[in-house]
Amino acid sequence: MAPKPKPRSKPRKGGPLGVDRLIHAPARLAIMTNLYVVDDADATWLLQQTGLTWGNLATHLGKLEEAGYVTVTKGYRGRKPRTKLALTQAGRDALLAYRASILDALDLGE
């Protein structure tokens, strides 16, 4: 049996056009851009904004949290469970760097 691979501690750079491949996935890009414009968000709100399923949202949030781009805080509002999501400063910086990479790639020198 092959050894289990170690979890990735850093995002993979050098994908298409030199962009951060972790952010480049459409679902994760939707999560990042929606969280960028708010201080924090409820998971239900993000689910509605992105159109993802609960399972997909959880999977992609896990990858973004592992990379240090997103914080996930579970708690309660009254008796109802609430999951609060926010971009970290590293996540904000990574999204801005991603944007710059895309703009550089689209600069056709015209």
pLDDT digits (tens, 9 = 90+) for 54-79: 999 999 999 999 999 999 999 998 99
Per the domain annotation, does 15 fall within a domain? no
**Whole-prediction pTM:** 0.82
Per the domain annotation, does 70 fall within a domain? yes
Q: pLDDT class for 109, splitting at 50, 70, 90?
A: low
Per the domain annotation, does 40 fall within a domain? yes
Per the domain annotation, does 14 fall within a domain? no
Provide the residue range defining the domain that includes 45. Answer: 20-106
In this structure, what CATH number is given to the domain that contains residue 90? Answer: 1.10.10.10
Those residues whose C-beta lies under 8 Å from the C-beta of residue 36, and which sit 6 or more positions away, are: 87, 92, 95
Per the domain annotation, does 92 fall within a domain? yes
- The rounded distance, in Å, linking the Cα atoms of 39 and 1 is 45
| Domain count across the chain | 1
